[in-house]
Structure 1
Amino acid sequence: MTGRSSLLRPDDVIDSILQITPEFLARRGLRGLLLDLDNTLVPYGSYEEAAAAGMFRWARDLLDSGIGLYLLSNATGRRAAFWLARLGFHGVGLAGKPNPRAYRLALRALNLPAQQVGMVGDQLFTDVLGGNLSGMHTILVRPLATNALPHTRVARHLERLVLRRYGHDWKV
């Protein structure tokens, strides 16, 4: 599919961030990742560190493999700071996704070109759209939780319609 709607098409659709391994990234020519926070790394609104132990190990394994990681979240700065203090890499809250400016700043922080960076997130209209507008490889991950803000629940319905057009029929 071409045209505007292709901006909403993720390059990969996966069930979990844990599927993203150094080998997965190498096959795609990726050396860095921009990561969404809520419903991608941790359930929306969660501050439970114990529940995120697997995610912490996953991030540490990627960092140890030389993969650059950067948190690019629309969560509050306070919430992003809470998780960044525990993750061991840099990032920002209130990023303003899908504005490409936020992605350019993150790419600069990683010191990598867009073609070598993947954007990982759970939303088409922020994470995938912004990543595609910025020339990045986009990876849509199944949301960790269904609890979300009212506008996100509406977006989930629209996302299902778009994903069906691309042959993906899992609920988001």
Structure 2
Amino acid sequence: MAGWLDRFRPDMFVPSVVDIDLADLRANGFDALMLDLDNTLLPWRNKVVPDSSKEWVCCAKQMGMKLCIVSNTHNPKRLEAIANDLDIPAMSRALKPRPGGFLKAAVMVECHPSRTAVVGDQVLTDILGGNLAGMCTILVKPMHPHEFIGTKISRLIEKGILALLHRTKPGTKSVRRKSEEEDTK
């Protein structure tokens, strides 16, 4: 049973994006971050990115990380405005958890999936999709309890999956690149 469950297992769990150790990611060979938008970088439906998220994005860019927002949002104008504010590219309607959106975003920032980490607040979209794309996955707690009704339903399923994951193999996987050999492909 653990085999299929591992698709939902994040490589790392942190309270928020600002708690991600960027130096550790760089030291472990990661060059790019695929960032979820709602309840990861800013609360759902908000248009203003919190200063803490802005500072974290700025720090990541200063460290040479390539960033891209990968979102299922159906409001591309809002996404574009936020991406412009952060001065990073973005992809809307990514169809997460399908890996295609993550893989296209990796091409967009010219980084191999094995050197890319996905950061998001949802197991069923961000973590599953990132794992299917062969990327490192980092689960953060949602920034705010206000969210789309479909997400609230997903959270109930996620709660069960996370409980099963903890029961079968407590903790998370170590943060390392998915495959050293893939870099030569």
TM over 0.5: yes
In the TM superposition, what is the alpha-carbon distance from 1:148 to its structure 2 partner?
A: 1.1
In the TM superposition, what is the alpha-carbon distance from 1:70 to its structure 2 partner?
A: 0.5
Distance 2:93 2:143 in 1: 20
In the TM superposition, what is the alpha-carbon distance from 1:150 to its structure 2 partner?
A: 1.3
Distance 2:5 2:165 in 1: 10
In the TM superposition, what is the alpha-carbon distance from 1:27 to its structure 2 partner?
A: 4.2
Q: Any idea what the Cα deviations from partners look like across 1:92-124, whole Å, max 9, x if unmatched?
A: 111111121111111101211111100000001
Identity %: 31
Matches within 5 A, 1:54-73: 54-73=52-71
Q: Any idea what the Cα deviations from partners look like across 1:2-58, whole Å, max 9, x if unmatched?
A: 422211111111101011232231243211100000000000011234xx1111111
TM-score, normalised by the number of residues in structure 2: 0.85
Distance 1:95 1:13 in 2: 23
Matches within 5 A, 1:61-140: 61-75=59-73, 76-140=75-139
| SS, match of residue 64 in structure 2 | coil
Which amino acid is the alignment partner of residue 89 of structure 2?
Answer: H
| SS, match of residue 144 in structure 2 | coil
| SS, match of residue 71 in structure 1 | strand
| Deviating 4+ runs (over 3 angstroms) | none
| SS, match of residue 30 in structure 2 | coil
Give unmatched runs, 5+ long, in structure 2.
172-185
Question: Which residue matches 2:7?
Answer: 7
Which amino acid is the alignment partner of residue 71 of structure 1?
Answer: I
| SS, match of residue 39 in structure 1 | coil
Question: Which residue matches 2:22?
Answer: 22
RMSD over aligned Cα, in angstroms? Answer: 1.6
| SS, match of residue 47 in structure 1 | coil
Question: Which residue matches 2:158?
Answer: 159
